[in-house]
Amino acid sequence: MLVSEILRIKGHTLFTTPPERSVLEAVEVMAQHDIGSLVVMDHGRLAGMLTFAEVLRALADRGGSLGDVAVADIFEREPLTAAPGLDAMELRRAMLERHARYVPVMDGTTLQGVVSFHDVAKAVYEEQSFENRMLKSYIKDWPDAESAA
């Protein structure tokens, strides 16, 4: 399964934020839409990712208050990205190595969407479940040795 297929199944809805937005406003968007990340876009280009991990780190560093902290102060500037043609198993491996929970999907310089570790795990699970059902069906229909003799 390819990353493009995962995006097709989950949809291409994107939630973005400019770097100058306050972290508090970004958190409100994340909470409103029940999402764990925002793509940080600067003048139409991917600048990075803001995830709940960066927000929690900022809260811990600032004694539980975000005050007037801007997204630009805390976001991940070099997130793992994936091409639409990347195999889901390769993406899963890369996500595990980088501890990445959210990955922007880029076709050149164009943002196609974001896949989460949950999206990848679900896709791999469904693909393996389908293969398992097909193998069981094949084995069930296999002619047994007695009827062949």
Task: Render pLDDT for 76-97 as a digit per residue (tens, 0 to 9).
Answer: 999 999 999 999 989 999 999 9
Q: Report, in this order, helix, strand and coil percent for the chain, each rounded to 5.
A: 50, 25, 30
Mean pLDDT for 50-55 is: 96
**Residues 131, 54: contact at Cβ < 8 Å?**
no
Mean pLDDT for 48-64 is: 96
- pLDDT band (50, 70, 90) for residue 144: low
Domain positions in the chain are 3-141
Whether residue 129 has pLDDT greater than 80: no
- Give the rounded percent of residues in the chain with a pLDDT score beyond 90: 73
User: Whole-prediction pTM value?
Assistant: 0.81
**What is the bridge-based pairing of β-strands 37-42 and 16-17?**
parallel
Nearest C-alpha neighbor of 111 from the set 73, 72, 79:
79
Mean pLDDT for 8-15 is: 86
Q: What is the pLDDT of residue 100?
A: 95
Architecture, CATH, for domain 3-141 = Roll (3.10)
CA–CA dist 67, 69 (Å, integer): 6
Angle at 115 between CA 59 and CA 94, to 5 degrees: 85
CA–CA dist 113, 103 (Å, integer): 9
Whether residue 44 has pLDDT greater than 60: yes
